[in-house]
Every structure is written in C-alpha cells, then in structure tokens.
Structure 1
Amino acid sequence: MTEYTPGAQRPPAPPHRPATPNRSTGPSLSTLNAIVWALVVVDVVLIGIAIAMAAQFFSGPSSNQVADDRTPGSSSPAPDSEPDGSEGQEPDAEDLADITGAETFTTPTGNIICTISSTGVVCSIAKLNDTPEENPNGCEGFIGYVVELRSSGTTLPCIPKSELPVAAGDGIEVLEYGDSKTVNNFVCESSNTGMACEDSNSERGFKLARAGITTH
C-alpha cells in the first residue's frame, strides 16, 4: 500500500469501463417467434393436403374414369380370344338347306351345331382346343370353325369375327351320342369324340371335334 503524503498529487483514477451486458447462449425471442410461425404454416399445409386426399378417396372414381375403362364393344370377345358361346351367331345354312327338308341338330354338349338337307351339310363348332389363325390367306376372319359338305366335296369357309359360331341354345334338337341323322344321301353321326358327316354317294365327308376339322 502506497503511503499518501499530504500535498502530494494523487495518481489519476483508472478510466471507467461500461459494464458488458451478459450474452445469452439461447435463441432470441424473435427467433423463437419465427420458428413457431413456421410450424403453424406447415401444420396448416399438412391439414389441407389430408383433407384433399380424404375427399378424393371417399368421392370414388369419376364418371369419365368409369367410361374410359370400357372399350367400345366390350361385350364382344377380344380378337385373340376363343369364342365362349356368348357372342356371334349361328352360321347361315340357307344356301344348303331346302326350306321344307332341312333339319338342325346339336351334340349333347351343344358345342357343335349342324344343318342337314338334301343339298348338303353345314356344321359349326363354338370352342376348339386351339384358336385358328386370324386372317389366313386373305381371309378376313377365321377358317376352322365351320365346315360344309356338298356332293362336290368339303370346304372350310372364311367366317368373319362378328359371325363366329356359338354354343347351341334351347329349342335345338339334340342328337345323342351314337345316333345319326340322314337326309337324301347325306348322313351325320354324333359321338363323344365329335360329329362325322359323309356323302354316301361319293364317300366324301368330314369329322368336326374340339381338336379341329379333318376331311376325307
């Protein structure tokens, strides 16, 4: 300790330094407010998205979407599908049949339908084991679903897709397995392996089955 001598000049006092404010280590109030508002905005956006998704889910597909799911003529079989007996039509056999002498019959399964008359026989099959090739050799349709027998021999006509054969409906005579039908010189016999028809004069004929058509 320095001794003070009267009359001596006192040493100058040290300069006054302002007190340094305490620095806070946490975020300021303005920063906390900004974070809170940001969270509020995010919550509002998420609630809006949830409401929109719920409304879309419960409203179901629109009428336009339902219509787009249906292709024109959707009730008809696809071009590469096998006829299932629900579409098409029975073959037209008027050119082979006498108006008063024709007889139409089917196998017990209804898969084969035949019309026999004094001028010939025409038979069709609704389902085959293998779908024939479409549009072969200039045919705009299928060959192999219908076979015709005349005195001149057998032919396999081209059948348009819209006229593919169908299974027999009610009201058509059933030719039981082992039974036959004869008109003039044409005869057809039903069996569990298919339908066989022949011209007794020329011995030409065919057999129609799920495996296909064979001629002789």
Structure 2
Amino acid sequence: MAAIRGILVLALLGVLSGCSPLESPTSTPTTVPSAKSGFGGPDPAAVSVTEETFQTPSKNIVCALTSSEVRCDIAQKEWSAPAKPADCELDWGNGLVVTDGEAAYSCAGDTLLGSARTTLQYGSALRAGTVRCDSASSGLTCKDEETAHGFTMATAKHRLF
C-alpha cells in the first residue's frame, strides 16, 4: 500500500500545483488494446507494466496497479462492504485491494476516481510483477498470481478469493 500511497500523494501534489505528475494537462487517457479481436479470450496475454492507473471502459472502476499490489475504487455499486472494522479510521469499502498477497476491502481517505491514465479494454489484461488485472464486460478481476488471492468486482456484485 505504501507504493500506492506514494502515487496518490504525487497525484495530489500535482493537482494542487495545477499539473499532474502522471500525465500532461493536455493528454487524454490511452487505451490498452484487446489481446484478441472480437470478444477476447478467457486468458488474454497481459501487457506488462511497472505500474499504472487505469479504468474500465465503463469508467466505473479505477485502479492503481504496482508490482506487488492493486487498489480499485468503484463509483457506483449495488453491493455493500461488511461492517467497518475498528482499525479503519478512513472511508471504508469503496473498493477492493490486493496487498501482501491478500484481498481485502479498501480503507482509504482518498479516491482513485478520475486519476486513470489508460483504459483497460474488455478482453485485455495488465500485469505488474505478480499482480494481474483482467477486464471483461462482466467485471474486473485482479489477483496476485503467486498467492492466487484476489477479487472480482462489478456494479452488481463482487467476490474476494
């Protein structure tokens, strides 16, 4: 989570100074092309990155991906997180994370919404280190391939595994 916090601090500093360290003020988000044309496949080849902030084509989910973790925030959802734990003093359950090889609900005092640099098209995948995210019209799945722990999230439902 420290790497994601660092990215978010840099982004906040960029916003406060009138520019973003992640992109130039006139740039627009790029698109990660589908690994296959048409509907894609069940296991598309993942584009490897060091780190990235991306959104789903619906723009409802935005994620910050690093080589060891991913955090995804969701704008509109029909599901609820479980009761807020006592050790979370910030906003609870507005997204999901994979950190330290485990999947969990997010506890964060900020949002990733609006920070995406790229769009991960349906049928496409991104990988940084051991963490991989796959975009599908049915939802986004992110997991740590070493531990096989992760999550699937969509407007209507979510699942941690």
Instruction: Judge same fold: TM > 0.5, yes or no.
Output: yes
State the structure with bigger RCO (CA 8 A, min sep 6), 1 or 2. Answer: 2
Which residue of the partner structure matches residue 192 of structure 1?
A: 137
Classify the secondary structure of the residue corresponding to 1:154: strand
Counterpart of 1:173, as a letter, is: T
Q: 1:205 aligns with which of 122, 131, 150?
A: 150
- Report the CA distance shift for 1:201/1:164 in structure 2 as closer, same or farther (over 3 A): closer
Structure 1 position 149, deviation (Å): 0.7
Which residue of the partner structure matches residue 181 of structure 1?
A: 126
- Answer 1 or 2: which has greater strand percent: 2
Identity of aligned residues (%): 24
Classify the secondary structure of the residue corresponding to 1:94: helix
Classify the secondary structure of the residue corresponding to 1:196: strand
Contact 2:61 2:74 (C-alpha < 8 Å) held by counterparts: yes
Q: Please, what TM-score do these two structures have when normalized by structure 2? A: 0.60
Counterpart of 1:94, as a letter, is: R
Q: RMSD in angstroms over aligned alpha carbons? A: 3.1
- Report the CA distance shift for 1:96/1:146 in structure 2 as closer, same or farther (over 3 A): farther
Q: Please, what TM-score do these two structures have when normalized by structure 1? A: 0.47
Structure 1 position 114, deviation (Å): 0.9
Structure 1 position 197, deviation (Å): 0.6
Q: Which entry has the higher C-alpha Rg, 1 or 2?
A: 1
- Report the CA distance shift for 1:191/1:94 in structure 2 as closer, same or farther (over 3 A): same
- Report the CA distance shift for 1:118/1:130 in structure 2 as closer, same or farther (over 3 A): closer
What is the rounded CA distance, in whole Å, between the counterparts of 1:208 and 1:94 in structure 2? Answer: 22
- Report the CA distance shift for 1:202/1:140 in structure 2 as closer, same or farther (over 3 A): closer
Paired residues, number:
119
Classify the secondary structure of the residue corresponding to 2:107: coil
| Alignment gaps of 5+ in structure 2 | 9-21, 23-48
1:96-141 Cα distance to aligned partner (Å, 9 max, x none)? 89x99321111001000111111211111011024657x7343556
